[in-house]
Amino acid sequence: MLLGKLAEEIGAKSLTGGKNTEIGGISADSKHVMRGDLFVCFGGEENDGHEFAAEAVAAGAVALAAERKLPIDVPQMIVEDGRKAMGLLAAAFYGHPEKKLKIVGITGTNGKTTTAHMLAAIFKEAGVACGNIGTLGIFYANKEISPELTTPDPIFLYKVFADMAECGVEWVVMEVSAHALYYGKVDGIVFDYCIFTNLTEDHLDFFKTMQAYGAAKRKLFEKGRCKCAILNFDDEEGRALAAVAPKSVSYALENPSDVFAVDIAEGFGGCRYIINLFDELYEIRLHMTGRHNVYNSMAAAECAKLAGIPVPVIADGLASLEKVSGRLERAGSFRGADIFVDFAHTPDGLEKSLRALRPHCKGRLICLFGCGGNRDALKRPLMGEASARFADFTVLTSDNPRYEDPFDIILQIEEGVKKYTDDYIIVVDRESAIEYAVDKLEKGDVLLVAGKGGENYQEIMGVKHIYSDFSAIRGILKFKSAEKGGKNA
Does 108 show up as a binding residue in the annotation? yes
Helix, strand, coil % (nearest 5) of the chain?
Answer: 35, 25, 40
Buried b (16+ CB within 10 A) or exposed e, 391-409: bbbbbbbbbbbbebebeeb
Does 110 show up as a binding residue in the annotation? yes
Q: How far apart are CA 361 and CA 345, in angstroms?
A: 22
Phi, psi of 411 (to 5 degrees): -60, -35
Does 349 show up as a binding residue in the annotation? no
Q: Are 67 and 79 in contact (CB under 8 A)?
A: yes
Does 394 show up as a binding residue in the annotation? no
Does 380 show up as a binding residue in the annotation? no
Does 111 show up as a binding residue in the annotation? yes
Does 399 show up as a binding residue in the annotation? yes
Does 267 show up as a binding residue in the annotation? no
Beta strands in 158-206 (DSSP E): 171-175, 193-196
Does 113 show up as a binding residue in the annotation? yes
Does 254 show up as a binding residue in the annotation? no
Does 200 show up as a binding residue in the annotation? no
Does 150 show up as a binding residue in the annotation? yes
Q: Are 284 and 301 in contact (CB under 8 A)?
A: yes
Beta strands in 135-258 (DSSP E): 137-140, 143-145, 171-175, 193-196, 229-232, 248-251
Does 109 show up as a binding residue in the annotation? yes
Give the number of other CB atoms < 10 A from CB of residue 205.
13
41 closest CA partner among 89, 87, 83: 83
Does 112 show up as a binding residue in the annotation? yes
Return binding residues: 30, 108-114, 150-151, 177, 375, 399-402, 451, 455
Return binding residues for ATP: 108-114
Return binding residues for meso-2,6-diaminopimelate: 375, 399-402, 451, 455
